[in-house]
Structure 1
Amino acid sequence: MRQLPGGGLADLLRAGVPAGTVNLAVGTPAFPDTPKELVDAACAALRSGVHQYQDPAGVPALRERIAAGLPGSPDPATELTVTVGGSEGLCVALLAAVDPGDEVIVLEPFYENFLSAVALAGGRLRPVPLREPDWSPDLTELTAAFGPRTRAIILNSPSNPTGQLLDRLHLEWLADQCRKWDVTVISDEVYAGYVYDGQHCSVADVPGLAERSIVVGSFSKSHAVSGWRLGYLRARPEWTDLLRQIHVATTAGAPAPLQHAAAAVDLFRAERWDPSAAMRERRDSTVEMLREAGFRCAVPAGGCYVMAAIDGLTDEPSHSFVRTLAAETGVLVAPATPFFADPRRGERHVRVAFNRPADTLDTARQRLRAQARRCPGLSHSSQEGEPA
């Protein structure tokens, strides 16, 4: 039986989280609150009898809503496909772009589902390490990763798990490489609405990348509806035709009543729905909390995670350190091992989610402070520079 890689974080959580634990390990949103208008619209759609199959490409009104909220005004009829969350969108994009044996470049550390999605498509992962402290790519190493067997590169900006943001200069440089080697760009832009420093630049806005890109989007984190499984793919019409064929073969369509609900509520434009300022406050609070407790971390430019080093706290690898930390403080964070092709490269880091209510983060901070007073390992060690 064929086995797919991944599952490290799921394995940790499957063991069970004790009652009262402050869970900062998973990205399932506890903030912002799911918009009440969406919930009401979903109930109305169900009561009105929306229970059957709809257009597999997505309810047209929803595609129009999505298009209105994206830069560059994509054609909702020919360039957008509603998917069963970003996860299905990612798999469909890779199945369309990659044949068995093709190489797929990823920037490491990466969202752990990239590993299994590439394997599902039969691709060969080509990781390129990002460099601390700001988790930026080394362009020499990235250049060397491209070659005649390269068929795709997966980008994720802002990144899960690092919060790193690829700026326009990086993307323009990548456009030259992708043109040279005829490479498709699969761009996970799920966290595009959460940018705190700098400005998000979509690959769809960059000449040389736009025509060879597939953008993956999702409402799971931005609108706190991860259980609704609503995402989308954006691509030029020729790609969209192929993506839709694979989408029909895999799922046949996203949940119809929830699509109607999202179409009925105009929350896809920043002027109508923008929790990023409150998320920035949580980012700053979390970075300060971690530095105060002795972790070493850069300030993420976007997303909802902090990648933190544990060098000054323990000699344990991260997968056992997180269990020790949870047992001693009641605060659970994620080991970084699932975010690396070779898990050993993640043994000195953890990932911390901050899409949480302020009082949850305050509780975590108080518990870490209390443990620091009892245990020299969690010390109030100073970090270079001012806390965020």
Structure 2
Amino acid sequence: MGARPLLNRRLAGMGTTIFAEMSALATATGSINLGQGFPDTDGPEEVREAAVRALREGRGNQYPPGPGIPELRAAIAEHQQRFYGLTYDPDTEVLVTAGATEAIAASLLALLEPGDEVIAFEPFYDSYAACIAMAGATRVPLTLRQPEFRPDLDELRSLITPRTRLLLINTPHNPTGLVLNDDELAAIAQLAIEHDLLVITDEVYEHLVFTGTHHPLAALPGMRERTVSISSAGKTFSFTGWKVGWVTATPELVATVRTAKQYLTYVSAGPFQYAVADALRLPDDYFADFRADLLRKRDLLADGLSAAGFGVHQPEGTYFITTDITPLGEKDGIEFCRTLPERCGVVAIPNVVFYDNTEVGRSLVRFTFCKKDEVLQEAVSRLQRLGA
């Protein structure tokens, strides 16, 4: 067998296949798609108009600077200072990427060598496994188990070996909705320092925290110099198609990540970068209202899922709800999701596609609530058919 089939087989996960299958089922059956996590409304009108202005004025229509336009890098640095008290030099410590997904890929490709081990929370966001594999490294899962989905810190310590290179931390966590608390963050930081590990933090849902507060790991003592922090505009401003993300880290780490990033997209989203710079400077009311709106939607869907008989795990953050189908007399999340459109006209995603340990995730199903109220209300109404 040639190298390409081997590589394809190594990278192939169930996630992409299932997402495509569920979206096709939604179209074929006219179902409400609560599977993939993208809003069904656009973000702030002033941000959209800022993108239109940039297009019309010819700003960003040609290649933007490799690290990102200065206006956006300055806005990202201001954002980190404004919300977290973290100071970054926009010229040397900020890198703009094609969404958080490219930031994750570039960081893993830049910082890993073949044979390295990466410890990450399981269930994994689906790009993690592929990017770790492309770097020739090995993913080591720290499984988050229901009902609380909190990390077992003793198990985390036991997973660290001489081959461990970095920790990949996702908080708020997709798909479980976990938000790491101060004690968990402190323990993770202590282990990283003790074992001289790098840390990549995926914080794209930083402004969607409903329980507790999001605290970046980079803000803890001894962590700024070893942490690559990643976020993006898509989730916070509901422009997921723009694909504008970023990395903040020390000059040495940013330079290393940029070395890999330049061979991926090199640059992207020129006019949208100007708009995202404006978005990051929106007043505090925007961020508070955004969170409050999604909290209300979360409760609307969570209550409906509970009434329909699901075991509901109330998320502390993100815009996903993980449910257990066991109370419905079901066991297999994949089969359940394949039949759900015909049964009640709703599409969801089986969490098992995010697990290496498929038995742990087998009965879990994920729904998203970043949809219009009337869409969620209709979905809740349809889901009641399961108990009929």
Q: Deviations over 1:26-51 (max 9, x none)?
A: 101225x3211122111111111231
- Do the aligned residues in 1 keep the contact of 2:110 with 2:259 (CA within 8 Å)? no
The letter for the 2-side match of 1:172 is A
Q: Deviations over 1:222-262 (max 9, x none)?
A: 11111111000011111111112222122111211111222
The letter for the 1-side match of 2:171 is S
Aligned to 2:296: 281
List alignment gaps of at least 5 residues for structure 2.
none
For 1:40 and 1:166, how far apart are their aligned partners in 2?
Answer: 36
| Greater mean deviation of Cα atoms: 190-199 or 92-101 | 92-101
**Match of residue 91, structure 1, among 80, 85, 105:** 105
Aligned to 1:130: 144
Aligned to 1:65: 75
Aligned to 1:10: 19
Shift of 1:21: 1.0
Shift of 1:316: 4.5
Structure 1 residue 185 and structure 2 residue 199: aligned? yes
Shift of 1:14: 5.7
- Do the aligned residues in 2 keep the contact of 1:298 with 1:307 (CA within 8 Å)? yes
For 2:278 and 2:368, how far apart are their aligned partners in 1?
Answer: 30
- Do the aligned residues in 1 keep the contact of 2:36 with 2:368 (CA within 8 Å)? yes
Structure 1 residue 260 and structure 2 residue 270: aligned? no
For 2:278 and 2:307, how far apart are their aligned partners in 1?
Answer: 45
1:94-105 aligned at under 5 Å gives the runs: 94-105=108-119
Structure 1 residue 161 and structure 2 residue 170: aligned? no
The letter for the 1-side match of 2:246 is Y
**TM-score, normalised on structure 2?**
0.92
- Do the aligned residues in 2 keep the contact of 1:133 with 1:297 (CA within 8 Å)? no
The letter for the 2-side match of 1:358 is D
Q: Deviations over 1:148-184 (max 9, x none)?
A: 1000111111110000011121111111211222211
For 1:196 and 1:261, how far apart are their aligned partners in 2?
Answer: 27
Change (3 A) 1:265 1:284: closer
Change (3 A) 1:11 1:343: farther
For 1:28 and 1:202, how far apart are their aligned partners in 2?
Answer: 24
Shift of 1:347: 1.5
Shift of 1:343: 3.4
For 1:36 and 1:334, how far apart are their aligned partners in 2?
Answer: 31
For 1:311 and 1:16, how far apart are their aligned partners in 2?
Answer: 23
Aligned to 1:216: 230
Change (3 A) 1:265 1:129: closer
1:209-358 aligned at under 5 Å gives the runs: 209-267=223-281, 270-274=284-288, 275-358=290-373
Shift of 1:59: 0.5
- Do the aligned residues in 2 keep the contact of 1:30 with 1:356 (CA within 8 Å)? yes
Shift of 1:269: 5.3
For 1:344 and 1:285, how far apart are their aligned partners in 2?
Answer: 29
**Match of residue 28, structure 1, among 35, 38, 42:** 38
**Match of residue 156, structure 2, among 122, 128, 142:** 142
Change (3 A) 1:193 1:269: farther
**2:237 partner SS:** coil
**Match of residue 54, structure 1, among 42, 49, 64:** 64
| Greater mean deviation of Cα atoms: 296-305 or 241-250 | 241-250
Shift of 1:131: 2.4
For 2:262 and 2:329, how far apart are their aligned partners in 1?
Answer: 49
The letter for the 1-side match of 2:376 is L
Shift of 1:215: 0.8
| Greater mean deviation of Cα atoms: 335-344 or 325-334 | 335-344
For 1:314 and 1:98, how far apart are their aligned partners in 2?
Answer: 44
The letter for the 2-side match of 1:48 is E
The letter for the 2-side match of 1:128 is L
**1:12 partner SS:** helix
Aligned to 2:384: 369
**Aligned positions, number:** 372
For 2:308 and 2:330, how far apart are their aligned partners in 1?
Answer: 16
Structure 1 residue 42 and structure 2 residue 51: aligned? yes
Change (3 A) 1:166 1:54: same
- Do the aligned residues in 2 keep the contact of 1:107 with 1:130 (CA within 8 Å)? yes
For 2:207 and 2:278, how far apart are their aligned partners in 1?
Answer: 20
List alignment gaps of at least 5 residues for structure 1.
374-388
- Do the aligned residues in 2 keep the contact of 1:68 with 1:268 (CA within 8 Å)? no
For 1:266 and 1:211, how far apart are their aligned partners in 2?
Answer: 24
**TM-score, normalised on structure 1?**
0.92
- Do the aligned residues in 2 keep the contact of 1:5 with 1:119 (CA within 8 Å)? no
Which is richer in helix? 2
- Do the aligned residues in 2 keep the contact of 1:68 with 1:269 (CA within 8 Å)? no
For 2:346 and 2:54, how far apart are their aligned partners in 1?
Answer: 39
